[in-house]
Amino acid sequence: MTRKLKKRLKRIIIGAAFFAAAVLLEKFATGMPVFALLAVFLAAYVIIGGDVVKRAVGNIGKGQVFDENFLMTIATVGAFFVGEYPEAVAVMLFYQVGELFQSYAVNRSRKNIAELMDIRPDFANVRRDGVEEQVDPEEVAVGETIVVKPGERIPLDGVIAKGNSSLDTMALTGESVPREVLCGEEVISGCINLTGVLEVQVSKPFGESTVSKILDLVENASSKKAEAENFITKFARYYTPIVVICAAVLAVVPPLFLGGWSTWIYRGLTFLVVSCPCAVVISVPLSFFGGLGGASRAGVLIKGSNYLEALAETEIVVMDKTGTLTKGTFRVMEVKPALENGAEVITRDELLELTAYAESYSNHPISLSIQKAYGRQLDKNRLESTEELAGHGVHAVIDGIDIYAGNEKLMRQQKISFTNAAQIGTIVHVAKNDQYLGYILIADEIKEDAAECIRGLKAEGVKRVVMLTGDRKETADYVASQIGLTEVHSELLPGDKVDEVEKIIASKSSKGKLVFVGDGINDAPVLARADIGIAMGGLGSDAAIEAADVVIMTDEPSKIAAAMRISRKTLGIVKQNIVFALGVKILVLILAAFGIANMWLAVFADVGVAVIAILNAMRAMQVKGID
């Protein structure tokens, strides 16, 4: 509990003590003058609710008349005038207790989210002229070397210049398993270094770092309001004046014909207490705030509650292939030696070794994947020469032997008979002099949870899931068959993707939303055209964070369905609160108008309903089991 809340609690306790004393005096001190008894009740009232009256008067001066402070002040002051001293103080007491609890609940919710996103680094250990000094991260320049010790948070993005370690990325991705990092790998700000000492060469200034962009995204998310929030704001603007007018009419008009002024004024005052809209006004934004925080905990950053709300109405999901459903990295899938008289002319290890040597001077992703698959130190002394043959492959001389590694064109050029491979992927054919040795199949890996993603989207009621890609039809169809997709459009240029999305948008219903999922780099035009743009691979990707409405920080497509579940849960809580709060209020307003409800019931309809609605709103932060 904050110091401010503790101070308010202390004031409420003192005021409650005065109130209890006043009630006891009224009951047992029968000969006590009325003005003395009134003075004790007024003292209790001022201690408990003086700040409410002060705010009401101050707001009237600013032109903000119809708020909860005004309603409670008019109702309780009016109760004093009709002689209901105990009820006047009691209503203000319970109102203040409810407000205290509401403030505590809201602060607790904000604190939980703040702790969740507590990724801002406090300092950076920068090495200058051989001396290590502790400075503000904003003072570190690109190219400088920082030292990150075990237990410290990485303050800036960069590349590891020295050391190996494991990183806690939970605050960014929601993943509990540490990530192993080696010398030469990129690291991003916001992660916690767990084991070894790292020396990192800074690649971006703090203002452009991952942690800075994420914090800016989270802090500004509340500015993009959902339709439900805008509705509640407009509702409160008209609702409060209307109920004040109704209360005034209830207090004045009936006694003109029926008499009993004090009875009808009491009913009008009770009507005012019930009508306070704080339960809805507080709980709806808090629900969305909790939903955004819960999504962040699951590794999904949503740039505003309007996007969180829209996710629940997703009808069509259009997905890019490379980097979204596949990893976008090449891997050796098969090493296939050639056969001669039914026997292999070379072993798999020897075929892979010769190819790795031939490709050792190339930085092409395919070459790097072959070297990685070989996984051993290369003795460059064995390599006498190497020549890259544009559009064909490479020619290398290894141990005095001519080795050719490349595509079908290279084999035909060298007039070498080769085996036609039917597999999907990139085929590297290998030959020694004029003898065919076999081929190596290299392909982009499908993400482990890609099939789970498609199943999850269908389970969430998405009507169409479409894959768009610039890859060859055979490759696209193969990936689609592996993950359970039936609608595929392949061999598309970036402009073609926009045209396809336009056609798909034309087919959706008026209320349905189209979501496009891409890597946030090459798909910016389509991300912008879709109702909701989701970027994969957001961990450290500037383009992803900038281009998309939603960023999947864990690079897992299955999180898309999880985000939809979080969206639907949040909207469900919002609707529950609206129906519950307004339903109870309307019921008690009717009872108050007929004199059945007194101020005690009115307090429950205001404070009690608000507390219940806020507790329900806090459930939006709990995403365990749906992420």
The residues pairing with 339 across neighbouring beta strands, listed in sequence order, are 344
Beta-carbon contacts of residue 101 (< 8 Å; ≥ 6 apart): 611, 614
Nearest to 205 by CA among 189, 181, 222: 189
CA pair distance 469, 450, nearest whole angstrom: 15
Residue that is written with structure tokens 């806090």 in the block: 618
Query: CA–CA distance from 404 to each of 278, 429, 625 (Å)?
Result: 77, 8, 53
CA pair distance 26, 314, nearest whole angstrom: 63
Q: Is 327 helix (H, G, I), strand (E, B) or coil?
A: strand
Nearest-5° angle of CA 527, CA 517, CA 489? 95
* Amino acid in the structure at residue 382: R
Residues 570 and 291 sit within 8 Å (Cβ to Cβ)? yes
CA pair distance 84, 600, nearest whole angstrom: 12
Q: Is 286 helix (H, G, I), strand (E, B) or coil?
A: helix
Query: CA–CA distance from 388 to each of 367, 393, 533 (Å)?
Result: 12, 6, 41
How far separated are the first and last CA of the chain, in Å rounded?
30
For 570-599, letters b (16+ CB in 10 Å) and e give bbebbebbbebbbebbeebbebbbeeebbb
Nearest-5° angle of CA 260, CA 261, CA 264? 90
Residue 474: how many CB atoms within 10 A of its CB?
A: 12
Q: DSSP state, 153?
A: B
Q: Is 600 helix (H, G, I), strand (E, B) or coil?
A: helix
Nearest-5° angle of CA 95, CA 278, CA 234? 155
CA pair distance 550, 309, nearest whole angstrom: 12
- The secondary element (H helix, E strand) that includes residue 423 is none
Residue 163: how many CB atoms within 10 A of its CB?
A: 17
The residues pairing with 430 across neighbouring beta strands, listed in sequence order, are 405, 438
Positions marked active-site? 320
